[in-house]
Amino acid sequence: MESISKGLEDVNIKWTKLTTIDGEKGILRYSGYQIEDIINAGALAEEIQYLFLNGELPNRSQLDLFREKIEAGYDVPDYVLNAITNLPRSSDVVALQMNAIAALAATEPFKWDKATNRDYAAKLIGQMASITATGIRHVLGKEPVKLKSSDSLARSFLSAVFDSEPSERAVAALNTALILYLDHEVPASTTAGLVVVSTMADMYSGVAGALAALKGPLHGGAAEAAAMQFKEIGSPDMVESWFKENIDSGKKRLMGFGHRVYKTYDPRAKIFKSIAENIGLTGEAKNLYEIATKLEKLGVNKFGPRGIYPNTDFYSGIVYMALGFPLQNNIYTALFALSRVTGWTAHFIEYVEEQHRLIRPRAVYVGPQERKYIPLQERK
Ligand code: CMC
């Protein structure tokens, strides 16, 4: 039988100048810049968004102009927000994002064009922020909102969701999360979106496709699923017995652990952990953090020898909880998407502009050989 690459493991589907991962050493670089250097230097998320869409870091005036383009997206049309608020408040927020993005796909006059692709992508970052803020507020029983201009996307977003001025620490933590989740080469969501845009469908449809793939618990859904697992354990005293009953027995997968590419610690997991350590955790977030650190030790002990370590989703939910986002309705995965929309669109642009071809793989047929069709009335 002809072989297939199950899960497309180790299949290269494009060239990229955007992100590189060394899965053996646990190194992540954005266009050559190491993730730790970007975070330690206190970069603004918008600088890195600019880097992804333009290939170089911006100077001050380039950044100001780029931020204006993002902020132009904050004012999404009401019918886009209605695509969220028409749905029940019990909805999954990533599905609400998909609905709103589909409303943009229905109405924005988008055409692939080198002269305007990046402007659409910048505007989409802003649109996604108002969509995500409204989606989160909707499931929390609040009115829709459009972001207002400030000195950063992180600040505008937190103010919009919570109707109050965020602390500097909260702004810095969300800004870092926006950078950490910004891109990760071609995981399932980016690949799904690339398949869509390879048909020359519009950028919004590509993002809707990417969102659909992100939602599942093996990919972006793990951001919420990991925190849910900590909550299910309930208290640090229960970690060992829960691990024995659920993980040692093979009943469940340890969420926030394992990665197709990393065979060691995901560098983003370490950064999220250090934010959690320094953000001043209290209440439920503190309890979940204590559970997570115990679980991490047991998980690394058991799975480390097989190259299965904490990934970016292991500690991110705890950080989001510390920022005031509740653990419900897939909100944590929606926050992942808010950041990843930059990576998705940057990959789409790179693919369509430089290396476009319809993505159309093959399947190896293993069903019955030719047989005679029997009409329904003659079938027993
Ligand atoms: N817990 C328990 N066993 C695991 C785990 C885990 N988290 N991850 C992998 N394995 C085992 C799996 O059971 C299998 O064992 P066996 O060979 O005995 O059947 C082996 O490792 C290979 O698993 P696989 O699913 O074929 O490997 P993969 O390369 O497709 O795994 C993964 C990648 C992310 C799907 C997997 O590690 C996983 O399910 N992790 C939990 C969900 C998760 O945290 N996802 C987030 C991924 S990273 C960030 C993101 O995309 O959001």
Tell me whether residue 183 is one of the annotated catalytic residues: no
Do 312 and 180 form a contact (C-beta atoms < 8 A)?
A: yes
Do 96 and 87 form a contact (C-beta atoms < 8 A)?
A: yes
> In which residue ranges of the chain is CATH 1.10.580.10 found?
15-216+330-354
Kindly report the protein residue whose alpha carbon is nearest to atom 9 of ligand 1: 258
Tell me whether residue 219 is one of the annotated catalytic residues: yes
The rounded Å distance from CA 313 to ligand 1 centre is 13
Q: Which among 184, 259, 266, 347 is annotated as catalytic? A: 259
The rounded Å distance from CA 239 to ligand 1 centre is 20
Do 222 and 256 form a contact (C-beta atoms < 8 A)?
A: yes
Kindly report the protein residue whose alpha carbon is nearest to atom 41 of ligand 1: 255
Q: Where are the alpha helices (DSSP H) in 219-373?
A: 222-233, 239-242, 267-278, 283-303, 313-322, 331-354
Compute the 3-state secondary structure of the chain and give helix, strand, coil in percent, each to the nearest 5: 60, 5, 40
The rounded Å distance from CA 72 to ligand 1 centre is 40
So what's the pLDDT on residue 1?
A: 81
Kindly report the protein residue whose alpha carbon is nearest to atom 45 of ligand 1: 218
Kindly report the protein residue whose alpha carbon is nearest to atom 37 of ligand 1: 258
DSSP per residue, 73-104: TTS--HHHHHHHHTS-TTS-HHHHHHHHHHHH
Q: Which among 92, 219, 266, 347 is annotated as catalytic? A: 219
Give the nearest ligand 1 atom to 226 CA: 44
Q: What is the C-alpha separation between 99 and 340, in angstroms, rounded?
A: 17
Altogether, the residues listed in the chain come to a count of: 380
Give the nearest ligand 1 atom to 247 CA: 2
> In which residue ranges of the chain is CATH 1.10.230.10 found?
222-322
Number of separate helices (H) and strands (E) present in the chain? 16, 3
Do 84 and 100 form a contact (C-beta atoms < 8 A)?
A: yes
Q: Which among 92, 184, 313, 347 is annotated as catalytic? A: 313
So what's the pLDDT on residue 336?
A: 98
Amino acid at the residue 352: V
Residues with CB under 6 A from ligand 1: 7, 187, 218-220, 222, 253-260, 308, 311-313
So what's the pLDDT on residue 161?
A: 98
Tell me whether residue 138 is one of the annotated catalytic residues: no
DSSP per residue, 118-178: HHHHHHHHHHHHHHHHHHHHHHTT---------S-HHHHHHHHHHSSPPPHHHHHHHHHHH
CATH of domain 15-216+330-354: 1.10.580.10
Give the nearest ligand 1 atom to 253 CA: 1
Kindly report the protein residue whose alpha carbon is nearest to atom 8 of ligand 1: 258
The fold of 222-322 is Cytochrome p450-Terp; domain 2 (1.10.230)
Taking the chain (380 residues) in consecutive chunks of 10 residues, what is each chunk's mean pLDDT? 93 97 98 98 98 98 98 98 98 98 97 98 98 98 98 98 97 98 98 98 98 97 96 98 98 98 97 97 97 98 98 98 98 98 98 96 96 97
The rounded Å distance from CA 153 to ligand 1 centre is 33
Q: What is the C-alpha separation between 65 and 165, in angstroms, rounded?
A: 25
Mutate to test the pocket of ligand 1, among 8, 190, 300, 311 (most ligand atoms within 8 A of CB): 311
So what's the pLDDT on residue 79?
A: 97
The rounded Å distance from CA 259 to ligand 1 centre is 6
Closest listed residue to residue 292, CA positions, set 176, 300, 258: 300
